[in-house]
Chains A and B, each alone.
Chain A
């Protein structure tokens, strides 16, 4: 049973426009969320994170929004650039119990930014 879901396998956006990548989770014990970016045949690179005590975190062109009541988070990229084309993974973690610190990943969304 998937605890972290990225229901859109792919997304295509025009350069300069906004990209919105979505992520849903089922476990209400998750209290920390991360976004990673991955190019083919490379390791993921950390992009941005958000704690459950916040509903927004911004870093340059990247903003993550968290809606705890809906168990939903989204990553906004504004403006989108061709170099943003990659697979984006959403990940979640909880700060207690035997799984403390372990990341649960979604299946990823492939973003294509067209010039």
Chain B
């Protein structure tokens, strides 16, 4: 059945290490997004991609990087330059950017020790 998968559910890394979070969708959606959620906060947009091989910075892109080599995949790398990487990361997709309903994956909880 169709959906968005994120792996792993929980991830632990040492400070100074880069880490890549996986996001895969089989909904045939064009647009994909990465958000970050911190306790008591709403979701904040990190990066988004409207089409393969194209992506744009969101509101809090510093310290993150993405790629969109395939329509189904939109991995997010949290680099050592991200000052506060511990957070809950959510991937989402939508049919296209003009259709506003975004569908979310289950999320990855990243803890940097």
Q: Establish whether residues B42 and A102, one from each chain, have CB atoms under 8 Å apart when the complex forms.
A: no
Instruction: Kindly list chain A residues whose C-beta atoms are within 8 Å of the C-beta of B106.
Output: 42-43
Q: Establish whether residues A101 and B100, one from each chain, have CB atoms under 8 Å apart when the complex forms.
A: yes
B103 interface residue per 8 A CB criterion:
yes
Whole-angstrom distance between the alpha carbons of A49 and B102 in the complex? Answer: 11
Whole-angstrom distance between the alpha carbons of A42 and B106 in the complex? Answer: 5
B17 interface residue per 8 A CB criterion:
no
A7 interface residue per 8 A CB criterion:
no
Contacts A101-B31, A102-B58 given; indicate if A44 touches B40 (C-beta within 8 A).
no
Contact of A44 among B41, B96, B97, B104 (CB under 8 A): B104
Contacts A43-B104, A49-B100 given; indicate if A101 touches B94 (C-beta within 8 A).
yes
Q: Establish whether residues B42 and A42, one from each chain, have CB atoms under 8 Å apart when the complex forms.
A: no
Q: Is the interface of A mostly helix, strand, loop or mixed?
A: loop
A62 interface residue per 8 A CB criterion:
no
Contact of A43 among B42, B44, B100, B105 (CB under 8 A): B105
Contact of B109 among A34, A41, A46, A93 (CB under 8 A): A41
B43 interface residue per 8 A CB criterion:
yes
Instruction: Give the distance to chain A from B32, nearest Cβ to Cβ, in Å.
Output: 12
Q: Restricting to B40-56, which residues have a CB under 8 Å from any CB of A?
A: 40-45, 48, 50, 56
Contacts A41-B109, A102-B58 given; indicate if A34 touches B42 (C-beta within 8 A).
no
Q: Establish whether residues B43 and A105, one from each chain, have CB atoms under 8 Å apart when the complex forms.
A: yes
Instruction: Kindly list chain B residues whose C-beta atoms are within 8 Å of the C-beta of A89.
Output: 42-43
> What sequence of 0s and 1s flags, for each residue 81-113 of chain B, a beta carbon within 8 Å of any chain A beta carbon?
000000010101010111111111111010000
- 24 pairs from A and B in contact (CB 8 Å cutoff): A32-B100, A34-B100, A34-B101, A36-B104, A41-B88, A41-B109, A42-B107, A43-B4, A43-B6, A43-B92, A43-B105, A44-B104, A46-B101, A46-B103, A89-B42, A98-B56, A101-B31, A101-B50, A101-B94, A101-B97, A101-B98, A101-B100, A102-B48, A105-B42
